[in-house]
Amino acid sequence: MNYTILDKKDTRSGFGAGLFELGRTNPEVVALCADLTGSLKMDAFQKEFPDRFFQIGIAEANMIGIAAGLTIGGKIPFTGTFANFSTGRVYDQIRQSVAYSGKNVKICASHAGLTLGEDGATHQILEDIGLMKMLPGMTVINPCDYNQTKAATLAIAKHTGPVYLRFGRPVVPNFTPPDQPFIIGKALHLQEGTDVSIFATGHLVWQALEAAKVLKDKGISAEIINIHTIKPLDEAAVLNSLAKTRCAVSAEEHQMNGGLGDSIAQLLARKHPAPIEMVAVKDSFGESGTPEQLMTKYGLDAAHIVLAAEKVMQRKHALIA
């Protein structure tokens, strides 16, 4: 199908809308926040369901532990804070009290990546996907727009087990249909193509669609696949596409180390060796700036996806020749 911009919204508001809907439909869902209720768009839930909302204060380690404890009484806790404080700051708490203990906690993380913007590198975590995907049993999801984030929020409440749900701060194109089903671990084919497979996640999905238009004008047929679930990875979707195109580009707002590209490269190396180029941050911290400036400076936009696609196709052709 042809994707066009329906409107522009922030993905965190998709989380807030999904959480609010869960408040009405699932009495076991509870929410915890570490002093960022407005930023996480949890205020509607807090107002409507005050007994099921826990303001923890600036104490993220305690929040993760309390969430783990709440599951024991059958609750489905959703924790909310920035991605940095949702992962690196509380890694051991997540590892022992949530992942190893097999607790049904939903760790919901906003302001992920460079698009946090002006606050700078202290808050722009680019390592969170890697940290979370290394934990056994952890599901890792990075939706691409408002509608998909809302759908993902609803879907993870029905999934039993720990989940890391990552979204962002800026207003970005909202383009997936509001009624599109969200199936954890099932990649979405946004556009069919034959020359190169572009696997994108999060804010980079729209950039990948933009890149595909430029590539089409250059006579290159790009297949665009939205990997919203980084773990478990939809291996069949990746391999089926590669069987056709025989080269891949990954695109994400994350370090190259530990990110989506890393997962795909690992899969290809094991099951279908093929050239891959990675649009990702190359082993550096971020900095202050507007989201657009940062995404350009760090090479995370449509133009860089186009360059990566052209490069990986050259590599493919060199291999064939």
Partner 1 sequence: MPEIKELELISNQVRRDIVRMVHAVNSGHPGGSLGCTDFLVALYFEIMKKEPVPFKMDGKGEDLFFLSNGHISPVFYSVLARSGYFDVKELSTFRKLNSRLQGHPTTHEGLPGVRMSSGSLGQGLSVAIGAALAKKLNGDNRIVYSLHGDGELQEGQIWEAAMYAAGKKVDNLISTIDMNGQQIDGSTDNVLPLGNLRAKWEAFGWDVMDMDGANMNNIVATLKKAKEHTGKGKPVMILMKTNMGQGVDFMMGSHKWHGVAPNDEQLAQALAQLPETAGDY
Contacts to partner 1 by CB under 8 A = 30, 51-52, 54, 56-57, 59, 61-75, 77, 92-93, 95-97, 100-102
Nearer to partner 1, 106 or 228 (CB): 106
Least distance (Å) from partner 1 to the CB of residue 206?
38
Least distance (Å) from partner 1 to the CB of residue 123?
20
Nearer to partner 1, 55 or 221 (CB): 55
Least distance (Å) from partner 1 to the CB of residue 163?
17
* Residue 71, both tokens: 């599951």
Least distance (Å) from partner 1 to the CB of residue 96?
5
Nearer to partner 1, 29 or 278 (CB): 29
Angle, CA of 147, 150 and 156, to the nearest 5°: 135
Least distance (Å) from partner 1 to the CB of residue 196?
42
Least distance (Å) from partner 1 to the CB of residue 49?
11
Nearer to partner 1, 106 or 246 (CB): 106
Which amino acid type is present at position 261?
A: G
Question: Measured between alpha carbons, how far is 214 from 209 in angstroms, rounded to an integer?
Answer: 9
Least distance (Å) from partner 1 to the CB of residue 75?
5
Q: Where are the beta strands (DSSP E) in 24-144?
A: 29-33, 53-55, 76-82, 106-110, 139-141
Given a contact cutoff of 8 angstroms between Cβ atoms, the answer to whether 142 and 9 are in contact is: no
From the list 285, 282, 295, the residue with the least C-alpha distance to 120 is 285
Nearer to partner 1, 34 or 172 (CB): 34
Nearer to partner 1, 52 or 133 (CB): 52
DSSP letters, 247-283, are -EEEEEEEESTTSHHHHHHHHHHHH----EEEEEE-S
Give the SS3 label for residue 170: coil
Structural element, H or E, at residue 163: strand 163-166
Residues 6+ apart with CB under 8 A from 278: 249, 250, 256, 259, 261, 262, 265, 308
Which residue has tokens 């984030």? 149
From the list 125, 54, 33, 120, the residue with the least C-alpha distance to 84 is 125
Nearer to partner 1, 39 or 62 (CB): 62
Nearer to partner 1, 94 or 279 (CB): 94
Question: Measured between alpha carbons, how far is 123 from 144 in angstroms, rounded to an integer?
Answer: 20
Question: Measured between alpha carbons, how far is 207 from 201 in angstroms, rounded to an integer?
Answer: 10
Least distance (Å) from partner 1 to the CB of residue 19?
17
